[in-house]
A and B are shown apart, each in its own frame.
Chain A
Amino acid sequence: MVTPAIEISGLTKDYPIGFWRKRMRRSLDNLSLQVEEGEVFGFLGPNGAGKTTTLKLLMGLIFPTAGTARIRGHAIEDVSMHREIGYLPEQPYFYDYLTAGELLDYFARLFGYDAAERQKRVGRVLELVGLASSADVQLRKFSKGMLQRAGIAQTILHDPQVVFLDEPMSGLDPVGRREVRDIMLHLKQQGKTVFFSTHILPDAEMLCDRVAVLVGGKLRGVGAPGQTVSFSLHGMEIVFEPVEGARLPRTLGETATSLGTRYRIEVPETKLYEVIEQLRNCEARIVAVSAIRPTLEDYFFRLVDREESRADAAEVVMP
């Protein structure tokens, strides 16, 4: 039997709140999931959903109120497990008095590598994240994007089998996001397991084999992006240009939105061909047909509404 890369069972975290710290606020509620070796797994959810709490629990930075987790068969309490994993914290901050090269050398020393090995590894990862020319620059002079890349460099310095990234694209410009995506794809090609949290749905859709959705500390869905409710179609959008003076059928004319010389119409997926036929009959030129997916905001609001209406947890789709 192949050991899963990550096994989480009933993981729960309560934080004491209030002046006397007597009351408890549940940040993560009975989370159970499994990630297989070589998977790119997206951990989705709005702010405050419990994504970072989960990652911090897995890293041993905080301790669970209940539940257990194993990474590549090791209990998370086992420090030797950290030889096989890499972790990029959310909005990473490093010792700003060090240069990028010194920072990575420091981390490499923590793994006990000798000088030659350290030099080789540091050079390789700096090259990989595009920071080779900034190796001697102090981190206090780094931009946010450069810091993120330095963070990824320290994450993969020791060639870990499982990589945890907490909001790796957060705050990056489009170029930076693409660079991080490329590194994640590179890791995927190398057969690494990548577990990353995000609230940017297109990133997850592009990169992930599977995603899990967390809302209010509770798991709301797990599955391949195409299978989960988050990626189901809302309908189809047709943009067309009518022939001058031609009259549109009444049903279309009432629902179409004018975009100047063009019109836009939303139709259910099942009515697509019927509407296209009607447009062709009145000689309208079809400019574009595209799928309408829910925005992240729509999706989260729907889940949050469901949470508030105390929907049954049985809705969760487990693989």
Chain B
Amino acid sequence: MSSVPGVVAINTFREAVRDRVLYNLVFFALLMIGASILVGEVSIGIDRIVIINLGLSAISVIGLVMAVFIGVGLVHKEMEKRTLYSVLAKPVRRWEFLTGKYAGLLVTLAVNTAFMTVGLAAALFYVGRPLVKADTSILVAVYFILLELALVTAITLFFSCFTTPMLSTLYTLGIYITGVFAADIRDFADFTKSQSLKGIARTVYYLVPNFHNFNVIDLASHGNSIPLKLIGENTLYAACYVSLVILAASAVFSRRNLK
């Protein structure tokens, strides 16, 4: 990690680790996973499903909260506090700085997700359920959550390059919610008779990231296997989408006058 983005990423990760708010979020997530044990105990016969479902949902929601709330301040805070001035006065290109910040937050999210996944595994172990081969689908679900967070972080970073944290949060959450209902938007485009609405719905469907395909929590909780094809498609989709958004963010940020 001796490249400029690597150095910036390590510092971003260090900042997140030293920010105690994160520990509260992880604690909250582990608490939710713990609570799922209690709920599981009163759900006779389906405790496994309940624990996995609630646990993965907690990992996803907490990850989303972290991605958005840390992401919106990622660049804005550096500009506001002018810490960025000293960094950009070094031989650092703006896109290198931006990529480093993105990578740093992604590593932070991955580490926190890993901690929470261990918490979920501990919850399953606590209720005395032996690990079976089908549990690999839980790991795939966690991997999809990470891909989803990578997309959300990239979008947040893009908005934080040119607008306020409040607006960045609103825009990102708006896109996220739209993306979760991507399949419904596509169906609407197929069924509507209005050509203009069809056009708008299709444009939104293709522009907004399709978060619907990343949600396999139900499949994982029921022990169903997740097709390899979907893993490949989602990975490729996330990589392409993230690359495009980071490119766009770099283009915006490279032209920005720092106040």
Q: Could you list which residues of chain A lie within 8 angstroms of chain B, going by C-beta atoms? A: 15, 56, 59-63, 79-80, 82-83, 85-87, 89, 92-95, 97-98, 106-107, 109-112, 151, 154, 158
Q: How far is the CA of A85 from the CA of B83 in the complex (A)?
A: 17
Given A61-B258, A79-B91, A82-B91, A94:B7 Cβ within 8 A = no
Check B92–A63 contact: CB distance below 8 A.
Answer: no
Q: How far is the CA of A59 from the CA of B90 in the complex (A)?
A: 9
Q: How far is the CA of A243 from the CA of B90 in the complex (A)?
A: 66
The 6 closest A-B pairs by CB, nearest first: A87-B89, A62-B257, A89-B85, A109-B7, A97-B18, A82-B91
Check B88–A93 contact: CB distance below 8 A.
Answer: no
Given A93-B81, A109-B2, A112-B2, A82:B90 Cβ within 8 A = yes
Given A62-B258, A110-B4, A89:B90 Cβ within 8 A = no
Partner of B15, one of A59, A80, A95: A95
Proximity bits, B18-41, A CB within 8 Å = 1, else 0: 110000000000000000000000
Contacts of A94 in B (CB 8 A): 83, 86
Contacts of B91 in A (CB 8 A): 79-80, 82-83, 110-111
User: What bracket does the count of chain B residues touching chain A fall in?
Assistant: 20 to 34
Q: How far is the CA of A89 from the CA of B11 in the complex (A)?
A: 20
Proximity bits, B60-89, A CB within 8 Å = 1, else 0: 000000000000000000000111011111
Check B2–A79 contact: CB distance below 8 A.
Answer: no
Contacts of B257 in A (CB 8 A): 15, 61-63
Chain A: minimal CB distance from B169 (Å): 23
The residue in chain A whose Cβ has the minimal distance to the Cβ of B3 is A112
Contacts of B7 in A (CB 8 A): 106, 109-110
Q: How far is the CA of A107 from the CA of B89 in the complex (A)?
A: 10
The residue in chain B whose Cβ has the minimal distance to the Cβ of A61 is B258
Contacts of A89 in B (CB 8 A): 82, 85-86, 89
- Known interface pairs A61-B257, A80-B91, A89-B85; 17 further A-B residue pairs with C-beta atoms within 8 A, sorted by A's residue number: A15-B257, A59-B85, A61-B88, A62-B258, A63-B257, A79-B93, A82-B89, A86-B89, A89-B86, A93-B83, A94-B83, A95-B83, A107-B87, A109-B7, A110-B90, A151-B86, A154-B86
Chain A: minimal CB distance from B87 (Å): 7
Q: Could you list which residues of chain B lie within 8 angstroms of chain A, going by C-beta atoms? A: 2, 4, 7-8, 11, 14-15, 18-19, 81-83, 85-93, 255, 257-258
Check B258–A106 contact: CB distance below 8 A.
Answer: no
Contacts of B255 in A (CB 8 A): 63
The residue in chain A whose Cβ has the minimal distance to the Cβ of B91 is A82
Contacts of B89 in A (CB 8 A): 59, 61, 82, 85-87, 89
Q: How far is the CA of A87 from the CA of B87 in the complex (A)?
A: 10
Q: How far is the CA of A294 from the CA of B131 in the complex (A)?
A: 85
Give the interface centre of A59, A61, A87, A89 by most chain B CB atoms within 10 Å: A61
